[in-house]
């Protein structure tokens, strides 16, 4: 008699266990998968500040660059187009005459050294202005007409 009454109880317990066991395990773990996606994105930003070293351009004796004499022949050419200088950086040697040619229609631009004290002044569209570099260094420059957007360019003189 006892076994007969216990069997339905056992059956009931087993089905309960089976039911509760079946429903609970899955939902918790699923959301974890989305977490790693955000973290990696910001890594490449650091490279941008590199050109800051330009301040090392010749502080000492005399002019490191100057307006090239009239009639000079350019040895390095830089193009100004679409509000950009190219190439960037400009690679030059001591004594080179670097010519900036403005190809931006009627928009004037300049190549103005940040600290070295030489400047093409405004170059009108279609015109060329030249500077001569007499000391090695990294010269940062900008456009004095558009200083907010045309800046942090460099002439590297070796």
Q: Which of 138, 146, 151, 156 binds Cu ion (CB under 5 A)?
A: 146
Shortest approach of Cu ion to residue 96 CB, angstroms?
A: 22
Shortest approach of Cu ion to residue 35 CB, angstroms?
A: 46
Shortest approach of Cu ion to residue 110 CB, angstroms?
A: 7
Nearest 5°: CA angle at 46, between 49 and 115? 5
Shortest approach of Cu ion to residue 109 CB, angstroms?
A: 3
- Total residues contacting Cu ion (rule CB under 5 A)? 5
Is 111 a binder of Cu ion (CB under 5 A)? no
Is 109 a binder of Cu ion (CB under 5 A)? yes
User: Nearer Cβ to Cu ion, position 100 or 137?
Assistant: 100
| DSSP labels, the chain | -HHHHHHHHHHHHHHHHHHHHHHSSSGGGGGGGGGGGTGGGGGGGGGGGGGGGGGGS--SSS-SEEEPPTTPPPSEEEEEETTEEESSSEEE-TT-EEEEEE-STT--B--EESSSS-B---B-TT-EEEEEE-S-EEEEEE-SSSTTTS--EEEEE-
User: Nearer Cβ to Cu ion, position 77 or 134?
Assistant: 77
Q: Which stretch binds Cu ion (CB under 5 A): 14-22, 30-38, 90-98, 101-109?
A: 101-109
User: Nearer Cβ to Cu ion, position 125 or 136?
Assistant: 125
* Site residues, Cu ion (CB under 5 A): 109, 143, 145-146, 150
């Amino acid at each position: 008699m006892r076994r007969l009454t216990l069997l339905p109880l056992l059956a009931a317990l087993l089905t309960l266990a089976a039911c509760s066991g079946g429903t609970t395990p899955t939902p918790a773990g699923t959301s974890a998968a989305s977490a790693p996606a955000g973290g990696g994105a910001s890594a490449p930003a650091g490279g941008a500040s590199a050109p800051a070293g330009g301040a090392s351009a010749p502080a000492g004796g005399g002019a490191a660059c100057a307006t090239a004499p009239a009639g000079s022949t350019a040895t390095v050419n830089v193009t100004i187009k679409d509000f950009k200088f190219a190439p960037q950086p400009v690679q030059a040697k001591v004594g080179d005459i670097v010519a900036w040619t403005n190809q931006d229609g009627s928009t004037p631009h300049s190549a103005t050294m940040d600290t070295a004290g030489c400047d093409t002044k405004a170059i009108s569209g279609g015109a060329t202005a030249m500077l001569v570099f007499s000391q090695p260094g990294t010269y940062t420059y900008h456009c004095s007409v558009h200083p907010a957007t045309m800046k942090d360019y460099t002439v590297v003189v070796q």
